[in-house]
Structure 1
Amino acid sequence: MTAAAPLTNSIQRAAWCAAVARINRSHLTFWCEHQNYQDQPFVKLSNKLDAYLKGELKSLANLERFHAAFAEWRNDFPEDDNLAYRIAELVCSALYSGVEAILDPECDDIPLLNGNIQDLYQEMASLSDHTDDMRQYWSDIQSALSDVLAEQQSTPVNRDYFDLLKQIDTSLFGM
């Protein structure tokens, strides 16, 4: 397998982060349901970020307003010391970073998010034999994301990106 092309601009990075959040959203939903915690601020910001990436939302002020509400919601996010919480937190971090990449074009949290994903796989290795399969799955998704985002310089993000996301029906962690 060849190395994924670097994501060099803020739209590429925002789309990559949004993909991580979207692919793993089921973990956040699961966590919120078990904590009796509403996920509406996450859902609303995720929808706004998708609309921005599709070129449907032009107002950065609107995006910032939902981003601020999400950040406030996240401050009260129920914490725990378990894998389910850490994956839910990754999902929140990915969404937050996706918007930050748009608001601050110099922001690049991809290495941090990737490191977090690898740490979670390491933690899961003690619980499952399927970690290598999950790592390969993630590697394949990253390659596909790099391919569809390679030429992306501005919004709207190309349709192939959204088609790819529709095809991914399993999270990076097997849910």
Structure 2
Amino acid sequence: MRKSMLLLLLIGLLFVTNAGFAQAQGNPNFEINIVFPQKIEQLPGIDTLIKVSIINKTDKEMHDVFTYITMANLTKTWTVNLEDYSADQPTAIGTMKPNEEKIVELPIKLVYSADYYLYATVVSKESKIITSSDAIPVKILGNTKIVPLQVQIVSILIPLLLLIALIYVIKRKK
């Protein structure tokens, strides 16, 4: 009887501990959503703004809040160094009151042609819980259409013509 009671007590304790852990992980301090645009399909070199909505979901003031953009290259399966994209600096929001919503515009310059996911993240120095938005698809289009056969022909033909011209000039001087 004692062993079964002890076993039930341990199972109950384990259940309560796991429920508390799940609740802490399942309740982020912020809600962040990309308001505009819902997707991007542009040529390289375009400057654009990502408008995000951030809501403090806690019942206390959150200090030192900041937000930033992250991009994942879907072709190469890695994150992107946003220094090249002019989006490497986080945007400081400051203090947010309980249930307060702020709309922030994050600038980014589209650079390298590829397919990406772009998402925004919000962080406060007061909490270790980091919240990210759902990703939006980003397609930076190639601004040139190269035909490999044409490139091969030109890369062989031009040096060949230059060689013929050089031989002609050398024979003519003799």
TM-score range, shorter chain: under 0.3
TM-score, length-scaled by structure 1: 0.22
Higher relative contact order (CA 8 A, sep 6+): 1
Larger radius of gyration: 2
TM-score, length-scaled by structure 2: 0.22
